[in-house]
Structure 1
Amino acid sequence: MLSLELSTSLFFWLLSLLFLLILNSKSIFTTFFSSNKSPEIPKSYPLVGSFPAFYANRHQFIQWTSDLVTSTPTSTVVLNCSLGRRQVITANPSNVQHILKSHFHIYQKGDMARTLLWDLLGDGIFNADGENWKFQRQVASHEFNTKSLPKFIETVADTELSDRLTPIFSAAAANKTVLDLQDILQRFGFDNICKIAFGHDPAYLLPSLPQEKFALAFENAARISGERFGEFHPLIWKIKRVLNIGSEKQMRIAVNEVREFAKEIVKEKKQELGEKSSLESVDLLSRFLSSGHSHENFIIDIVISFILAGRDTTSAALIWFFLLVSKHPNVENEILKEINDKSEDATFEEVKDMVYTHAALSESMRLYPPVPADGKEAIDDDVLPDGTVIKKGTRVAYHIYAMGRSEKLWGSDWAEFRPERWLEMRDAAAGKWSFVARDPYTYPVFQEGPRICLGKEMAFLQMKRVVTGVLRRFRIVPAFEERIEPVFIAPLSSKMKGGFPVRIEERV
C-alpha cells in the first residue's frame, strides 16, 4: 500500500502529467524519459513549465544546467518552473559582479531559500538578510580577525591529522585495505569544525569509524534540506511537514537532535565561562558568548551555520584534489618538492607560503567547486548587464561549476588540470613561483562582495595542512571498479556519488 507521502507527491505529479499528455503526449514522453543531453533550452508547458526536463535530469542537474549556460551566447538561461515561477541561471562574470556587489541590495537570500533552510539554520548568518545579516556579519568578522584564531585552527587541524588521520592511513597501508576517502575526510572535517565552532570533539574520526549521533543527525538534516530544492513545488514538502510524514518526519527528528545537542553544548559552555575569570577557550562559541552575545537561539543558529559551512566544503575540495593529483604525477611531484622544502613541523607562515599547492587547490576547485551554484532572490525589478530582464521575486543563480568549465573564461584548455595557470615565475633560476589570483567574479568559489566567505583563509590553511601531512608520507591511489568513473553530485555541497574508494601506499 502506498504511503501517504508518496500519494501526496503523486497527486501533484500525475495531475500535471495528465495535463501535459493531453497537450502533446509524444513530446512529453520524449522529454521525460530522455536524459536530455542536448544543451537546447528545455521546452516549457502550461502549469508545470520545464519540470519534465528537470525531472529527467535530476541525477545530473549540475552538469545539465552547466551545459545549458555555457552553450548560450550570454552564458545565461531563463528556465520556466512550475506554476509560473522563473529561474535565471548565469555563468557571466559581469552578471555575477552585478548580483554579488554592485546590486547586492537587490539580490537577497529571499523568502524561498530562507524557508527551505529555516528548520536547520534558523536565522543564522547564511540564512539571514538585511539588518539581521549585517549584525551577524559584524560579530563574526570581528571574531575571525583575531590573531589567536588562525593558531587555534592550525592546532586543531594538526592534532586531528597526527592523532587520527595518519594512524588510519598507516593501518590501511599496512593491511592493504580500501578506504572510502570521502567518508574519512568528511569525518575529519566534522571533528575539525565542531572543535573550532563549539570547542567540542565529537570523535567522529576514530579508527572504529563510529556512527556518532550528532554527526548523523546533521547529515540527515543537511541532505533533506537540499532535497527540498528539487521538489516539484514547495507545497509538497510543506504538506509532508504539516502531516509529519516521510522525509519531513525524518527532518523533524534530525533537526531536533541537532538543536538539542547544540543547546546542551551552549549551556555547558556558559557554565564553564561563568566559572573562569578570563577567556581560555578560543572556539567561536566561547568568543561569541564572551563578547556579550548570549541569546540562546542567536548563538545556536550562528554556530550551526558555521558547522554547515565548514563541515563538507574543505572535505569536498580535498576529495577532488586528491583524485586529480593522483592522475597527474607531474603535479604531485611539484607539490612534493614544495612539501619537502618545509620542515615536518612547518609553521603557519611556511604553509601559507606554499604557492604551488595553493595553485593546485585553486585549480581543483575551479573544476570541482565545493558549492557548485548559489542562488539569490530579486526583491525588486532589475536588468542584468547582459540584458536579461529580472522581475521581482525571480530566483537568480550564478553557476560556479559552469564558470570553471567555460572556454570563454579559461580558454581552449579549460578541461586540463593545470595549476600553472595560476602562477607566474618569480625567480627562474631558483624555480620560485608567485601566485596570481583571478578575477573573483570569474572565480566566485568563495563568493565575493559583502558576503565573501569569512573562512576562506581558514579553509586554505586547513587544506594545506592536510595535503602536507598526507602527501609527505602517503600516496593516494584511486580504487574504483573497472570502467567506473566518479560522478559529481551536489545535494548542498559537492560530493562523489557512492564515495571515493582508495588504497593508501606508504612512501619509501
Structure 2
Amino acid sequence: MSVLNAYLNPLTYLNTSIGTTKLDNLLMQSWLFPALVALAIAGRLLLSIYSTWHHAQKASRIGCGEVPLYSSQDPFGISTLLETLDAAREKLLPQLAERRMTFLSRKHDRYVSTFRMCQAGRENMFTADPKNIQAMLATQFKDFGLGDMRRNVANPVVGHGIFTTDGESWSRSRSLLRPQFTRDQIGNLDREERHVHNALCAIPMLSDGWSSAVNIQAIFFRLTLDSATEFLFGKSCDSQVAAMQQEAGPAPDDTFLYGFDRCMWYLAERIRFDRLYWVIYNQEFRKCIDIVHAFVDQYVHSALKQVQQQEEQPQGIKKVPSQYIFLNALTGTTKDPVRLRDESLNVLLAGRDTTASLLSWTILLLARHPHIFSRLRSDILEQFGTYELPRNMDFASLKSCQYLQHFLNEVLRLYPVVPLNRRCATKDTTLPRGGGKDGTSPIYIRKGRTVMYSTYVLHRRKDIWGEDAEIFNPDRWVGRKVTWEYIPFNGGPRTCIGQQFALMRSSYVLVRLLQRYDKIEDVQSEREIRYSVSLTSCPADPVTVRFHQAEVEG
C-alpha cells in the first residue's frame, strides 16, 4: 500500500516518511523536483488506467455492451469542441448531432442513436433514444441530475434556482414556484392584450393594406419580455414602447433588454465550452450581469417593503391585491432577497425566451405554408370571432381549438425550443439501450459522466415519425398519442413548470395576429432555415415578413 501511495501522491508520502525538514533539503536538489512531478503524472495515469479497467469489469459483470465511439482527431477532444463551435457559428448546431449519428450509422452498418465522444478532455455520452431519455428523466430520475457544470455556468447570472439545482434544493424551488403556475394564474389573459396591442403598433402599415417588411422575431422577444416582467413584478419594462420611441438602432448598452440578451449569449457560449466554461467571463459579461441584477433587485426590494408595510397594518385593514403578481406571492414563502432574485430570474429566463422562440418559429412556418395559414385562420375566426369583435377567449377555449393545438405541436416537434439538453450521473448506473453490436444491450454510465440528449434529433427520427418526419404537417397529430418520443418541455418530475404558461401566451398571440391579418408573406422565402441556439433555439436570421390587414367586419 505504501508503494501505491508513493505513486499516487509522492510529495505527501515523502513528507510523512522522512519529515518536513529532510524533504525541504531534498527538494533543493535540482534533479528531485522534476522527478517528483513525473512520478505524480505517472501516478495519475496509473490511477486513470486502473479506474477505466475497474469500470469496464463492472460494466461487463452486469451485462452492459460497448457503445460506439465518435472518434476525434486528437485524444483530448479539442477537435470535437472546435467542430461544435464551428457548427454554432454557422448556425447549424442542432444538425451536428444528426451528422454524427449518420456517420456512425454508416460505419457500424446499423442505426446508431447512442454513442460516446470526447470533448475538451472529457468523455460524454450522447443519445436520441426515447427509452434512455425516459430512464434519465423519469424511471431512473434519482440516478441523474443537472450536474455541477450547469450550476457553474449559470450561477453568475441566475444563481441557485429551479433550473440550476438538484436534490433538496430543486425540490424546494419546485414547491416554491408550483403554486404560482396554477390554471387561474396563467389563464388571466387581460394583461396580455396590452402587450399584443403594443406589438401590433410596432408593425407599420402602408396605404395598400400591407405592412412594411418587419422583423417579427424582434417584436416577439420584446412582447414576451414585457409580458413576463408584468407577470413577475407587477410592472412591465415596456421594451416595445421604448423601441418604437427609438425608431431605429439596437437597444442602448445600459438597458435591461440589452443586458439580459447579452447574458443569455454568454451563458450559451459557456455551455458550448464545456469544462472550459470559465474562460468566458470578461468585463462586458460582468457589466451585463450587474445591469440584470440591479433591474430585478429594485422589484425585490419594493416587494419586501410592501410586505413589511402590510404586516405593520392592523389585521382588519390589510389590502387585498387587485391583481396577481408572481414576486409578491413568492414573498409569502421566503423573504431572502437573493433567493427571490434568483427564482425570479430563473422563471424570467425560461418564460420569456421559450415563448418568443416558439412564436418566431410559428410565424416563419405560417409564412412558408400559406395553405396552413388559411386553414388555421379560418378555424380561429370561426371559434374566436374577428379582431374587432373577439369572443370566448380563455384557457379552456384556446386549448379546445384543435387545429391550433395540432399546429403548435408540429412546430414544437420540428423546431423544439430546447433542441439539446443534458444530465449528469449522480452514481454509477446504466441506461437501457445503445450497447453491443446491435445496440440493444444496456450501457454503463459512470458517476459524474454527462449524457447529452437531442430533442431535435428525437423528433425527426424516421423510424418513429415515418418517412415524412421532416415535413411540416399538423394533420399528423389527428388521433395521435405520444409518450417519450415527443418531449418539447422535457418529461418526468422536471417537466417544464411553465409549459402551460408558454402555450397559453403563444396561443393567445397567434389568435390575435390571425384575427388582425388575413395574409402573410415571407420576404426571404428562399433562405435556408438556420438556428440560433442560446439557452433556447430560435431562427438565426431575422424573421422578416409582411402582413396584410383584414377588412374590418361587423
SS in 1 for 2:424: strand
- Whether 1:194 aligns to 2:224 is no
TM-score (norm: length of structure 2): 0.76
Shift in CA distance, 96/184, structure 1 to aligned 2, threshold 3 Å? same
Deviation of 1:55 (Å) = 4.2
Larger Rg: 2
Corresponding residue for 2:84? Answer: 54
- Whether 1:403 aligns to 2:458 is yes
What pairs with 1:73-472 in structure 2 (closer than 5 Å)? 73-83=111-121, 85-145=122-182, 148-152=184-188, 154-162=189-197, 164-169=198-203, 171=205, 176-206=211-241, 208=244, 210=246, 211=251, 213-231=255-273, 233-234=275-276, 237-239=277-279, 241=281, 248-276=282-310, 277-280=318-321, 281-289=323-331, 291-341=332-382, 342-343=384-385, 344-348=390-394, 349-386=396-433, 387-424=442-479, 436-439=480-483, 441-472=484-515
| Structure 1 residues without counterparts, runs of 5 or longer | 1-38, 242-247, 425-435
Count the aligned residue pairs.
444
Deviation of 1:483 (Å) = 4.4
Deviation of 1:240 (Å) = 5.9
TM-score (norm: length of structure 1): 0.82
Deviation of 1:68 (Å) = 2.4
Structure 1: which amino acid aligns with 2:408? L
SS in 2 for 1:388: strand
Structure 2: which amino acid aligns with 1:447? N
Q: Distance in 2 between matches of 1:373 and 1:169?
A: 33
Structure 1: which amino acid aligns with 2:115? V
Identity between Structure 1 and Structure 2 (%): 23
| Structure 2 residues without counterparts, runs of 5 or longer | 1-67, 106-110, 311-317, 434-441
Q: Distance in 1 between matches of 2:225 and 2:353?
A: 8
SS in 1 for 2:432: coil
Deviation of 1:167 (Å) = 2.2
Structure 2: which amino acid aligns with 1:78? R
Q: Describe the superposition over 1:467-506 as per-residue Cα deviations: whole angstroms up to 9, x where unpaired.
A: 11001121332112x7432312212211222321111211
Structure 2: which amino acid aligns with 1:376? R
Q: Distance in 2 between matches of 1:366 and 1:390?
A: 28
Q: Distance in 2 between matches of 1:217 and 1:47?
A: 35
Structure 1: which amino acid aligns with 2:329? R
Q: Is the 8 A contact 1:422 1:438 kept in 2?
A: no
Q: Describe the superposition over 1:299-323 as per-residue Cα deviations: whole angstroms up to 9, x where unpaired.
A: 1000000000011111111111112
Q: Describe the superposition over 1:364-394 as per-residue Cα deviations: whole angstroms up to 9, x where unpaired.
A: 1111111111111112122211123211111
Structure 2: which amino acid aligns with 1:48? G
Q: Is the 8 A contact 2:221 2:352 kept in 1?
A: yes
Q: Describe the superposition over 1:138-197 as per-residue Cα deviations: whole angstroms up to 9, x where unpaired.
A: 12112212x530243x122222113x0222235368574211111111111111111111
Deviation of 1:222 (Å) = 1.0
Q: Distance in 2 between matches of 1:81 and 1:233?
A: 9
Q: Distance in 2 between matches of 1:204 and 1:319?
A: 18
Corresponding residue for 1:489? Answer: 532
Q: Is the 8 A contact 1:69 1:402 kept in 2?
A: no
Deviation of 1:252 (Å) = 0.9
Q: Describe the superposition over 1:41-87 as per-residue Cα deviations: whole angstroms up to 9, x where unpaired.
A: 4434223353343344343222111332366424112111122x112
Corresponding residue for 2:98? Answer: 66
Deviation of 1:356 (Å) = 0.6
Corresponding residue for 1:18? Answer: none
Q: Is the 8 A contact 2:69 2:117 kept in 1?
A: no
Shift in CA distance, 149/55, structure 1 to aligned 2, threshold 3 Å? closer
Q: Distance in 1 between matches of 2:397 and 2:275?
A: 51
RMSD: 2.2
Shift in CA distance, 446/233, structure 1 to aligned 2, threshold 3 Å? closer
Deviation of 1:443 (Å) = 0.9
Structure 1: which amino acid aligns with 2:93? F
